[in-house]
Amino acid sequence: MKIATLTNPEEILITETTKPAAKENEIVIKVDYIGICGSDIHAYYGKHPFITCPITLGHEFVGRVVETGKGVKGVLPGELVTAIPQIFCHQCEPCRSGRYNICDTLKVIGCQTPGAACDYFAFDASLVKKIPKGMPKEIAATIEPAAVGVHAVHRGADVKGKNVVVMGAGTIGNLTAQAALAEGAKQVLITDLSDYRLEVARECGISQIANTGKVSVEIAMKQAFQGDKADIFFECVGIGATVNQAIELSKKGHDIVVVGVFGNRPEINMSLVQDKELRLIGSLMYVEKDYDRTIDLMNRGMIHTKPLISKTFELADYAKAFRYIEEHKDSSLKVLIQVSE
Ligand SMILES: [Zn+2]
Ligand SMILES: [Zn+2]
Flag whether pLDDT at 7 surpasses 80: yes
Q: What is the pLDDT of residue 49?
A: 86
Nearest-ligand number for the alpha carbon of 147: 1
Calpha distance 185→157 (Å, rounded): 11
**CA of residue 21 to ligand 1 center, whole Å:** 26
Radius of gyration of the chain from Cα atoms? 20
Q: Give tens-digit pLDDT for 297-341.
A: 999 999 999 999 999 999 999 999 999 999 999 899 999 999 987
DSSP β-bridge partners for residue 79: none
**CA of residue 100 to ligand 2 center, whole Å:** 6
Nearest to 35 by CA among 336, 338, 340: 336
Question: Nearest-5° angle of CA 83, CA 87, CA 90?
Answer: 120
Nearest-ligand number for the alpha carbon of 93: 2
**15-23 mean pLDDT:** 97
Q: What is the DSSP letter of 109?
A: B
Flag whether pLDDT at 247 surpasses 90: yes
3-state secondary structure of 166: strand
Residue 165 pLDDT class (50, 70, 90 cuts):
very high
Nearest to 286 by CA among 81, 105, 101: 101
- For 113, list phi and psi in degrees, rounded to 5: -130, 160
**CA of residue 336 to ligand 2 center, whole Å:** 31
What percent of the chain has pLDDT above 70?
Answer: 100
pTM listed for this prediction: 0.97
Strands 187-192 and 208-211: parallel
All domains in the chain, ordered by first residue: 2-131+305-338 (3.90.180.10), 149-282 (3.40.50.720)
Q: Give tens-digit pLDDT for 201-219.
A: 999 999 999 999 999 999 9
Q: What is the pLDDT of residue 263?
A: 84
Calpha distance 286→150 (Å, rounded): 8
Nearest to 312 by CA among 136, 101, 191: 136
Flag whether pLDDT at 254 surpasses 80: yes
CA-CA-CA-CA torsion sign (30, 318, 41, 153): negative
Amino acid at 160: K
Q: Answer yes or no: are the C-beta atoms of 333 and 197 closer than 8 Å.
A: yes
**120-142 mean pLDDT:** 98
Calpha distance 2→7 (Å, rounded): 15
**CA of residue 174 to ligand 1 center, whole Å:** 14
Ligand 1 is an ion; its neighbours by CB within 5 Å are 37
Flag whether pLDDT at 100 surpasses 90: yes
Half-sphere exposure of 309 (CA within 13 A, CB side): 19
Please state which of the ranges 43-52, 68-77, 82-91, 240-249 shows the lowest mean pLDDT: 43-52
**CA of residue 313 to ligand 1 center, whole Å:** 17
**CA of residue 244 to ligand 2 center, whole Å:** 32
